[in-house]
Structure formats: structure tokens, C-alpha cells
Amino acid sequence: MVEAMPHCRLYLTLPARPSAALESSLAQALAEADVACVLLCNDMAPIDNSWAFRLRELTLAREIAFLIENDAPRAETIGADGIHITADVALYRSARDKLGQLAIIGVGCIESRHDAMTMAELGADYVAFGHAEANETACELRVELIAWWSEIFVAPCVAWDVETAEEAERLAGLGADFIALSTAIWQAEDVAQRIATIGAALRRARTAA
Amino acid sequence: MTAQGTRLWLAALVVAIAWSPANSAESPAYAAYAQGQYLTALKLAEAEAEKGSKEAYTLLGEIYEGGLGVAQDLSKAADSYAKGADLGDANAQFSLGLLVAEGRGLRKDLKLAANLFEKAADGGQALAQYNLALIYLDGKGRPADEKKAAEWMQKAAEHGLPLAAYDLGGFYQFGRGVAADKAKAAEWTGRAAEAGLPEAQAEYGVMLFKGEGVPVDEKLAAKMFRMGAEQGNAVAQNRLARLYANGVAVKADPVQAAKWHLLARAAGVSDFNLDLLLAKLTPEQRAAADKAAEEWQNDRLTE
């Protein structure tokens, strides 16, 4: 019996604030789930270099890509694989100049079709749709954008700020290449278990294509 | 973008490898054994053993240990090996050492195992030399001593044991028991690779690619990655996928890149860059890659 090759993988986002509990949950999650990429967010608290270095080591040991949000110089210092930025042409260009062609530069396009097309045209390695205030309207829009994008465009797309296995499976089925889980997930109990459950849902999903 | 494949030290202390009896020449018992006539071999070996042939005791041990033509009987096997060992047969000493090290048919005793391996190793038995090296590395059964581990590893490697050549390459790479020496690391890893060890092929490929201890040779590196990949080494599969993705040393081929990436990923080697490549494939290319990966796995299962 050959194991099915999943079409969609997990993308984890981490809050900037260092936390031993989070670090151990992350290690457990990486051991149990099939994770493609880890992003250290530049939210609430400033990024702490020693925290970033520890995460770099943790991910490197498993050959998992490590990105930093909106901070190309720090990505370079830490030896990250690249960055995730907000959709902005000047920001993208300066980051690409600094980090070079081999670095991964992904762009959060939230809800804008125009941004996504512009950034993909420029050479963004992926575009991401979705945002944290996940009310019903926002979720439906994300579904619509993912389906639209993966139907027409070549650049990989990431469904952003996903919280549940049901959403993840649905978005994967519509063609999302990666499912980025919300940073809020780290507040849950049994985080690693939850992440593994969502990972298992992705294995079930098959693209419509 | 990802970590350089790190050498995995062999976790198991003792590696049992199908050992073909070295003394098959001239002995009717071994001749029968080699032809699979185990009951005949058993009778002949019993007679030869009675006349004091140490190799015959070893053969008896192998027949009982393997349950070949008779019910498996580990204590009889141990007993026969012990007689052969006392008479000075290196293969018997080694085989008895394995039983003692694993506690099969005898109480587990790593010190005794080490003594037996050492005797066999002194007698030129390559697997015993290898296992003795591992014992010195591990510090169980003998006090840990990396220098002695390296010396025995060198001997086993010189006897042409691929695993020993590979581990010796690691000793030179990390300066364990010997002075670190990139050229020697590459030489021994290369020998293990040539002998067909997939882990060694993956690592030798990396050395050739980066020119570590050996002149850069991308073509040969690609060949090593391919051989390792075909044998199922996930690191080699990942590196081969990267070559196809970037058109380095091979013609760029996204479907081949995806095929090898899918296989490597299923075996636990993640690579986000190749995931991104995968996501950019057309549905037709993706289907072709899935099919190629599946066929490769099916071929392996039926082998």
C-alpha cells in the first residue's frame, strides 16, 4: 500500500514573545505533524534574537523552512530561509535585493486580488489569503480567493490564519498549497495534538483539480 | 536552504550481517551447506567436528542458530560456537560474541562479547573488528576509547567492509579518535559509496558537490545521488530533486524533481523550496510526478 502524497502541507506561525511552553509544544508538533514551514511573527512584542536562533535550530534539525515576518536584516542575521511580508511593492523589492533570489519571500495579501496578482508578478514565492478576524464573511471570502487563485495562477497560495481541521480540509480541497495556522492556536491545550489532527485532515483532502 | 545531511551514527551496537562462511573450501560439510543440503551438512559437520575441525563446530553453530534443516536451537548453537571458539576459529568467536552481546541463547554479557570480538578481531575477522570498534565508541562492554575505536574501524574498513569504511569516513570528518581530515573522510566515504552503501552515496555526493576533501565533480555527485536515491535514501532523493529543480548536472525537469521530492518527503526529508516548486506544477505535471513516485514505490515493494 503506497502512502498517498499530500497536496497540501502545514505552515505554522509563532508569536514573537519567547515561551518555553510554546517551544516544547512546537518541538512536539514538528515531531508529530508534517510541517513545511515555520514563521516567527513580528507581532505584539519585538523579536528576541536568542529566541529566533533557538527556533532556527529547532527547524533546521528537521530541515523545515524558517521565515521571519517583515524583517529582512534579522532574517539574514538569524540565517532564516526567508521572510513573510505585507503586500507592498517597495518592501518586496528591497527585501529581494537584500536577500537574493534563493531566499523565500512570501507575501500576505489578505483580501486583495490586485495585491496578489502584483506580488506574484514580481516573483513572490507565495501569496497568502486570510486574516485573524475570522468572522463568517472573512472566512467565505478566503474560500473564494483560494479557489479563484489556485484555479488560475501558478504561484503557490497559502490559506492564512486557519483555526480548525474542517476549514483546513475545505481550503486544501479547493487548492490551497499550504495551510497557515493562526498564532492563537498556541494558547490551546494539547496544541501538538490539535496540529496533528489538522495535519491528518490535510492528508484526507484531495484537490478538486 | 536546509541542514546539511548529518551523519547518523549506527544506533545498534551490534550489526548482524549475513556472514558467509569463509572456510568453505575443501570441506565436504561446507560444500553441502553452500548447496543448501543442510541435513547432509549437519551429519558431515558432526563427523568433522569429532575429528577436531574448528570450522566444523562453527558450521554446526550456524545450522542450529539459523534453524536450517533442524529446529532452531540457540543453546546448541552457542555450545558449538564455543567449541569452535576455544579451538581458535575467528568466525566462531565472532558469532558467539554476537549471541552474547544480544543475549540470545546465553545471558547477555557485553564484557564477554567484547572479549570474544577482540579475539576474532585479532584473528582478522572484519565484522568482529567493526563491532569491537562500535563497542569502544559506545563504552559498553569496554571503557569508551575513541582512539581504539578508530584503529579497529580502520582495520575493518581495510578489509573492505562498507559500513566500516563509511563510519571511518565519519571519524575523519569529525575528528573522532583520529585527527580530522577532510580528504580521508571523502576517501573512505567514497569507498563505502562505491561499495553500494546508500547513506555513503548521499554523503559522498554532497562532498563531491561542495568539493569537501575531494575536487568538485557535479556529474559524479549527481550519479551518487541517483544511486542513493534509487536505493531509497531520502537525503539522496532530496538532493537529486534539487538538481532536477535547478537544472544542475542534469537537465532541468520539474516532474523528476517533484517525483524525488515526493519520495524524500514521504520518508521525512522536508524541503519548502521544493514544496513551492511542487505547487507550481500544472495538474498534468503533478499527476505525472505522483504516478512516477507511486510506481517507484511499487517497484520497491515488489523487489
- Rounded alpha-carbon distances, angstroms, from residue B119 to B41, B99, B150, B199: 27, 15, 17, 30
Complex ipTM value: 0.86
Provide the CA B58 distance to its chain's centre, in angstroms: 23
How many angstroms away from the CA of A88 is the closest CA of chain B? 21
Sign of CA dihedral B51, B54, B57, B63: negative
The predicted pLDDT at position B154 comes to 97
What is the distance between the terminal CA atoms of chain B, rounded to a whole angstrom?
A: 34
Q: Which residues of A25-54 are buried (b: 16+ CB within 10 A; e: fewer)?
A: bbebbbeebbbbbbbbbbbeeebeeebbee
Q: For chain B, give the secondary structure using H, E and C.
A: CCCCCCCCCCCCCCCCCCCCCCCCCCCHHHHHHHCCCHHHHHHHHHHHHHCCCHHHHHHHHHHHHHCCCCCCCHHHHHHHHHHHHHCCCHHHHHHHHHHHHHCCCCCCCHHHHHHHHHHHHHCCCHHHHHHHHHHHHHCCCCCCCHHHHHHHHHHHHHCCCHHHHHHHHHHHHHCCCCCCCHHHHHHHHHHHHHCCCHHHHHHHHHHHHHCCCCCCCHHHHHHHHHHHHHCCCHHHHHHHHHHHHHCCCCCCCHHHHHHHHHHHHHCCCCCHHHHHHHHHCCHHHHHHHHHHHHHHHHHHHHC
Q: Tell me: the pLDDT tens digits for B174-208? A: 999 999 999 999 999 999 999 999 999 999 999 99
* pLDDT for B12 beyond 70: no
For B301, residues 6+ apart whose C-beta sits below 8 A from its C-beta are A2
pLDDT at B3: 32
Q: Which residues of A touch B (CB under 8 A)?
A: 2-3, 5, 7, 9, 34-37, 60-65, 81, 102, 104, 125-126, 154-157, 177-178, 209
Task: Check residue A110 and give its pLDDT.
Answer: 85
Domains of chain A (ranges, CATH numbers): 9-196 (3.20.20.70)
How far apart CA B206 and CA B236 sit, in angstroms, is 9
Contacts B2 to A, Cβ<8 Å: 60, 63, 65
pLDDT at B16: 42
Residue carrying C-alpha cell 569537501: B212
CB atoms B293 and A5 under 8 Å: yes
Q: What pLDDT score does B5 carry?
A: 32
**Residue numbers of chain A with a pLDDT score lower than 70:** 1-6, 134, 206-209
Local confidence band at B168 (pLDDT 50, 70, 90 cut-offs) = very high
Q: Spell out which residues of chain B touch residue A37, defining contact as CB-CB under 8 Å.
A: 272, 275
Is the pLDDT higher at B302 or at B34?
B34
Q: Are the beta carbons of B269 and A36 separated by less than 8 Å?
A: no
Residues of chain B with Cβ-Cβ distance to A105 below 8 Å are none
Which among A7, A36, A61 has the least Cβ separation from residue B272?
A36
Q: Please enumerate in sequence order all residues whose Cβ is within 8 A of that of A207, keeping only pairs 6 or more positions apart, or say none.
A: A7, A8, A150, A172, A173, A174, A175
For residue A65, the chain B residues in CB contact (below 8 A) are 1-2, 270-273
Quick one: pLDDT at residue A3? 47
pLDDT for the residue A4: 53
B275/A9 touch (CB, cutoff 8 Å), yes or no? yes
Contact B272 A62 (CB under 8 A): no
Q: How far is A79 from chain B (nearest CA, A)?
A: 9
Comparing alpha-carbon positions, the chain A residue that sits nearest to B282 is: A154
In tens, the pLDDT along B197-238 reads 999 999 999 999 999 999 999 999 999 999 999 999 999 999
Interface mutation vs chain A, best among B238, B260, B272, most A CBs within 10 Å: B272
User: B202: distance to nearest CA of chain A, Å?
Assistant: 16
Q: Which residues of B touch A9 (CB under 8 A)?
A: 275
Task: Note the pLDDT tens digit of each residue in B33-55.
Answer: 988 999 999 999 999 999 999 99
Give CA torsion, residues B184, B190, B191, B196, to 10 deg: 160
| Cα nearest neighbour of B284 on chain A | A209
Chain A residue with minimum CA distance to B283: A209
Radius of gyration of chain A, Cα coordinates, nearest whole angstrom: 16
All residues of chain B having their beta carbon less than 8 Å from the beta carbon of residue A81 are 1, 272-273
Whether residues B276 and A37 touch (CB distance < 8 A) is answered with no
Least confident window among A150-159, A199-208, B153-162, B285-294: A199-208
Query: What confidence score (pLDDT) does residue B14 get?
Result: 42
Using CB atoms, pick whichever of A63, A102, A154 lies closest to residue B3.
Answer: A63
* Grid coordinates belonging to B47: 563427523
Residues in B closer than 8 angstroms to A34, CB to CB, are 265, 270
Spell out which residues of chain A touch residue B273, defining contact as CB-CB under 8 Å.
65, 81, 104
Query: What pLDDT is recorded for position A7?
Result: 81
* Alpha carbons B82 and B112: distance in angstroms, whole number: 12
Q: Using CB atoms, which residue from B1, B262, B266 is nearest to A81?
A: B1
Q: DSSP secondary-structure letter at A89?
A: H
pLDDT digits (tens, 9 = 90+) for A14-67: 999 999 999 999 999 999 998 999 999 988 788 899 999 999 999 999 989 999
Per CB-CB distance under 8 Å, the chain A contacts of B3 are: 60-61, 63
